[in-house]
Chain A
């Protein structure tokens, strides 16, 4: 999953969409801005970029608030409650503060790499947001290879992290970066296997939109959700995928690359100001992203219990309901991530390896095999 393969696949799938060989339902399909040359194509591109950037920056603000208030309540504290109603504007205030802080670049740092690393980290998440179908038409690029591209683009972020750690010329930073590399090669295996399982269970579909559509119908419009239609194998796979996602987003108990108590702040020790806030933003944006992917693969996408699936794929009300249900499920998973963070202590590097190689990988293989027979 190198950068070149990402670009190739992204280009190929976009070409695929424009051929008409795939029934694409992107947000701008009716207006066909992507198909146009010149100005309108540019406008369409700019508009979709604006949506991604907007979501990418607003969602983390909300999640940081949820994280702080939630952790506060778990500690029997109140959490931030001074700035704005219920402290909602606290994160905004912190963001403004970060923007005006000095952007320090260490004297012996590798200047160019140091400067582009946060951008690269953020770019991976930004790119993946384009492929998220919040409803059947609420997607910017409805790529037929959706989940594959997302998995590839998500590993871009790891390159950024290693780059940041290496370029900082700091022992804590390089230790954090090495940990991230070690962690990445362990969680990617079970994660990939679980994605494979989802692809097999969804009739070989790689598009997240098609996966969500595939989970409509069944008992009370719940029966076809992957974790319910294949409870014996897909449910453990869902749990394994979620654990791998926790490792992917560098959240506790897998926050080894940051590890505040051991490495000052891990790979972003030397970062300050706006560049630090990029890493911060990326963490919460990727939490949202990874949770949304989990929802679309395992938790029925936009399908709501008791509401027939056809109603959610057409009409304005259906669209709004679909986007709402995707967001609610995603927010729930994000909340579980926060909940886990304030419950479990950080595990050691060797324990991450043990967990991923000795437990998650064999279990994921078992689930994969089992669901091959289940679906057959």
Chain B
């Protein structure tokens, strides 16, 4: 195809005829292009049902491997806009009771800086990109989605507490025995030992 600039000057017969030929030719070319596209397959993804595949390094909503997380708060510190908030309580037996691991997607800019410092590699940028909510408050997402503690954890904690108690009792008994023994020798040391135990 050659596109010539619009000729100026009087409309002679030769130009008149050439214009007609050009019009017909270009229209036929255009029509053949559109009909070619008519018979190609649509490229549509029907969104709610079908989703476009995202790039392997796509930075979507975060994905947290809840079981691995050790609650070290490194991600919270790394976040440049403080959108991560972590609240938990560490129980004996190395079990963390989570109250909150919330990410405020009102603020989050998906910079991935929270993912790099994680020592156990438990927080990742996920593939999910749909952030449609009815209210802004719903954009604060709890990544732990922790509805109370699991039975397993309760058992672990109970066992740890029992163990600790038992240990403490044993230690107390031991100390009491020692104290009794010492009291026989030196009565003034007894008060000191009892105060320590209660702590």
Q: List residues of A whose CB falls within 8 A of some B CB.
A: 70, 72-78, 339-340, 342-344, 358-359, 363
Contacts and interface: CB of A to CB of B under 8 A. Distances in A.
Contacts of B44: 76-78
A343 B30 contact: yes
A340 to B, nearest CB: 7
B42 A76 contact: yes
Contacts of B130: none
B37 A339 contact: no
Contacts of B38: 70, 73-74, 339
Contacts of B14: none
15 contacts: A73-B37, A74-B34, A74-B38, A76-B37, A76-B42, A76-B43, A78-B44, A339-B31, A339-B38, A340-B31, A343-B30, A343-B34, A344-B30, A359-B20, A363-B20
B178 interface: no
B184 interface: no
Contacts of B5: none
A71 to B, nearest CB: 9
B188 interface: no
A116 B106 CA distance: 53
Contact of A73 (B11, B19, B42): B42
B132 interface: no
Interface of B: 11, 16, 19-20, 23, 27, 30-31, 33-35, 37-44, 46
A357 to B, nearest CB: 12
B8 to A, nearest CB: 14
B19 A72 contact: no
Given A78-B46, A358-B11, A359-B19, A342 B34 contact: yes
A359 B16 CA distance: 8
Contacts of B35: 74, 339
Contacts of B23: 359
A343 B31 contact: yes
Query: Chain B's interface: helix, strand, loop or mixed, by majority?
Result: helix
Residue among B23, B27, B34 with the highest chain A CB neighbour number at 10 A: B34
Contacts of B41: 76
Residue among A74, A339, A358 with the highest chain B CB neighbour number at 10 A: A74
Query: Chain A's interface: helix, strand, loop or mixed, by majority?
Result: helix
A70 B40 CA distance: 12
Nearest to A340: B31
Contacts of A339: 31, 34-35, 38
Contact of B42 (A72, A343, A344): A72
Given A358-B11, A359-B19, A359-B20, A75 B37 contact: yes
Identify the 8 closest CB pairs spanning chains A and B, nearest first: A343-B34, A343-B30, A78-B44, A78-B42, A73-B38, A74-B34, A76-B43, A74-B38
Contacts of A74: 34-35, 37-38
A68 to B, nearest CB: 13
A344 B39 CA distance: 18
Given A72-B42, A76-B42, 5 more contacts: A73-B42, A343-B31, A358-B11, A358-B16, A359-B23
Nearest to B33: A343
Contact of B40 (A76, A340, A363): A76
A363 B20 CA distance: 10
Contact of A344 (B19, B27, B37): B27
A73 B41 CA distance: 8
Contacts of A77: 42-44
Contacts of B39: 73
Nearest to B39: A73
A73 B46 CA distance: 14
A237 to B, nearest CB: 14
A343 B16 CA distance: 24
A123 to B, nearest CB: 34
A108 to B, nearest CB: 41
A346 to B, nearest CB: 14
A342 B35 CA distance: 10
Contacts of A75: 37
B47 to A, nearest CB: 12
Contacts of B42: 72-73, 76-78
Contacts of A359: 16, 19-20, 23
B104 to A, nearest CB: 35
A37 B31 CA distance: 54
Contacts of A358: 11, 16
Nearest to A341: B34
Contacts of B43: 76-77
Nearest to A70: B38
A338 to B, nearest CB: 10
Nearest to A358: B11
A313 B165 CA distance: 106
A368 B86 CA distance: 87
Nearest to B26: A344
Residue among A73, A340, A344 with the highest chain B CB neighbour number at 10 A: A73
Contacts of A76: 37, 40-44
Nearest to B41: A76
A172 B173 CA distance: 98
A73 B40 CA distance: 8
